[in-house]
Structure 1
Amino acid sequence: MTEATLTQQEKKQKYNFNKLQKRLRRNVGNAIADFNMIEDGDKVMVCLSGGKDSYTLLDILLNLRLNAPIHFDIVAVNLDQKQPGFPEHILPDYLSKLGIEYKIVEENTYGIVKEKIPEGKTTCSLCSRLRRGILYRTATELGATKIALGHHRDDMLETLFLNMFYGGKLKAMPPKLLSDDGKQIVIRPLAYCKEKDIEKYSIAKEFPIIPCNLCGSQPNLQRQVVKEMLQTWDRQYPGRIETMFSAIQNVTPSHLCDPKLFNFKHLQQGELLSDIEGDIAFDKEDLPAIPLLAHDNDEAEFTDGEMISFKEVN
């Protein structure tokens, strides 16, 4: 179908999709640059669950790799947890059509979780620990230097509030993480991406979504409660989510209460602090309603010793 034969509605849909795709690619490129997520020679293991987030992550990374100024390989990995009714053919069929390297890891974590967790209790904690161990092992076997997960901006904010409300910690989900044994680096290239953008993109691309039946039947999960709270705020107060995410990018330890992060005990008269750590407690700051989280141009950067820019593919 040529451009001339498209209806006005189809032209509008195409225009909106191109904007959405461009925004997602730009946000992923900026996150990669800001945190030096991918370096020359990396082998990136993309963890593919069959959900909208991981499909989008794989799709965007494959596209960015085409014009990246550095070389990196991608291998897709799915953990088949042996959930009853899991459609085992969907991901192999999809990945075979893409023509990329992939591996399906079969481990009966479903059976372990059902055996260990009493009926009615949430399964997420044990399930995530089991998955993490298996994925770390698989990364080592494949020679992967980075493990890419599909967590996005909303996941990071949900984790922040979960830790505050239920754990008594000011702690979120980092865009880049070193494993406890120092052997694995986990990256989250979707860190700057909105969940609603990812959902729209997934629908437009018609990814073959596979629901997670293991935890989907737990409507009272604390994370779901927090998610609904944030979604309500987003509807009632446009821009609040953006402002909150901006906050976790602009932290002032001297204005919190953790003596491990700031040396309150040895604070002395006559000592000069930086502008952000000084006496600004009563200052009125002019904050934008919607902070700009991504650059307004199509260029992103990989930092590998020096800055290297690349143009994303339209």
Structure 2
Amino acid sequence: MQLQRLLSYTRKAVDEYNLIQEGDHIAVGISGGKDSLTLLYALHGLKRFYPKRFQLSAVSVDLGFDDFDLSPVQVLCKELEIPYQIVKSDIYHILFDIRKESNPCSLCAKMRKGALNQAVKEMGCNKVAYAHHKDDIVETMLLSLIFEGRFYSFSPKTYLDRMDLTVIRPIMFVEEKDVIGFRNKYELPVVKSKCPVDGYTKRQYAKELLHSLDKEHPGAKERMFHAILNGNIKGWPERIQIKPCPKEMS
């Protein structure tokens, strides 16, 4: 995927769900993975021409894994002239050494987001951008249907009143395969996850299920995604209809 195409999809999300306002200070949550680094490039590129001016920073939560080196991300942020902060934590030690959690994902996510959001506030940001893409949104809907019995997926924009912080998801229209293509084309400095349960989660199950459904019934993922967009899910902002995003841009 070309950068121009990524920027087109990003602007589509930003415009249709009113994700960015004049004077915003947005922190990009960086895990070190392909998704968050793609998001960083997307917002950095958008900042150059978007009519509403905004500031951009980046922040990572170091969970405490051995040999987890974020220096490649530090180098990238320096090249892009984006302020970058690493928040040290003992989340790994708490989950695996003290609590010995067999299913740590939910608690880990809660603790990680808490540490991230606190750091974002301390940096003076009013918004934090998460790198959830189209596949994540559909997978979340499947997980909600299967394990919770409700039709739900996370919103493009969510206001956290207790933190006075707004979460935005600017690459929600980008497919994971395009993120992979972007990573390969632009040689993003991906930092491999050290989590011992990576690849063995319910999220991975939903990913494989979605792939299977879309393979057996071509277009199924796209139809499910549009069902979510048109599903009047509680908490979702009103969508502003914009011109369709082109499939390919040179």
Instruction: Assess if the C-alpha contact under 8 Å between 1:52 and 1:207 holds in 2.
Output: yes
Match of 1:226 in 2: 206
Task: Decide which moves more: 110-119 or 53-62.
Answer: 110-119
- Deviation of residue 117 (structure 1)? 4.1
Contact preservation (8 Å) 1:27, 1:294: no
Aligned to 2:53: 71
Cα 1:52/1:252, change in 2 over 3 Å = closer
Paired residue for 2:246?
296
- State the match for 2:190 in structure 1: 209
Percent of aligned positions with the same letter in both sequences?
32
- If asked which structure has higher relative contact order (CA below 8 Å, sep 6+), I would say 2
Q: Please tell me the root mean square deviation across aligned C-alpha atoms, in Å.
A: 2.4
Point out the structure with the larger helix share. Answer: 2
Give the alignment of 1:227-242 within 5 angstroms: 227-242=207-222
Q: Equivalent residues in 2 for 1:1-314 (5 A)? A: 17-18=1-2, 21-118=3-100, 121-181=102-162, 183-215=164-196, 217-251=197-231, 294-296=244-246
> 2:205 and 2:243 mapped to 1: Cα distance?
26
**Alpha-carbon displacement from aligned partner over 1:32-58 (angstroms, at most 9, x marks no partner):** 011111110000000111100000001
Could you say if the C-alpha distance between residues 297 and 94 of structure 1 is closer, same or farther in structure 2, counting changes exceeding 3 Å?
closer
Residue 181 of structure 1 aligns to which amino acid in structure 2? R
Deviations 1:65-100 (A, max 9, x none): 111112100001111111111114222222222222
Alignment partners' CA distance in 2, 1:221 and 1:49: 17
C-alpha contact 1:148 1:187 (8 A) present in aligned 2: yes
Taking structure 2 as the reference length, the TM-score comes to 0.89
SS at match of 1:248: helix
Q: Distance in 1 between matches of 2:7 and 2:46?
A: 7
Alpha carbons of structure 1 residues 252 and 81: separation in structure 2 relative to 1, 3 Å: closer
- Name the CA distance, whole Å, in 2 between partners of 1:132 and 1:30: 26
Question: Counterpart of 1:122 in 2: which secondary structure?
Answer: coil
Shift of 1:116: 4.5
Task: Return the offset for 1:112.
Answer: 1.2
Q: Which structure 2 residue ranges, 5 or more long, are not aligned?
A: 235-241
Instruction: Select the structure of larger CA radius of gyration.
Output: 1
Aligned-pair distance for 1:227? 0.6
Which ranges in structure 1 are unaligned for 5 or more consecutive residues?
1-16, 259-291, 299-311
TM-score (norm 1): 0.72
Q: Aligned AA for 2:120? A: A
Partner of 2:229: helix, strand, or coil? coil
User: Structure 1 residues 297, 111: closer, same or farther in 2, change over 3 A?
Assistant: closer
Residue 233 of structure 1 deviates from its aligned partner by 1.9
SS at match of 2:85: strand
**Contact residue 81 and residue 109 of structure 1 kept, 8 A:** yes
Q: Is the 8 A contact 1:246 1:293 kept in 2?
A: no
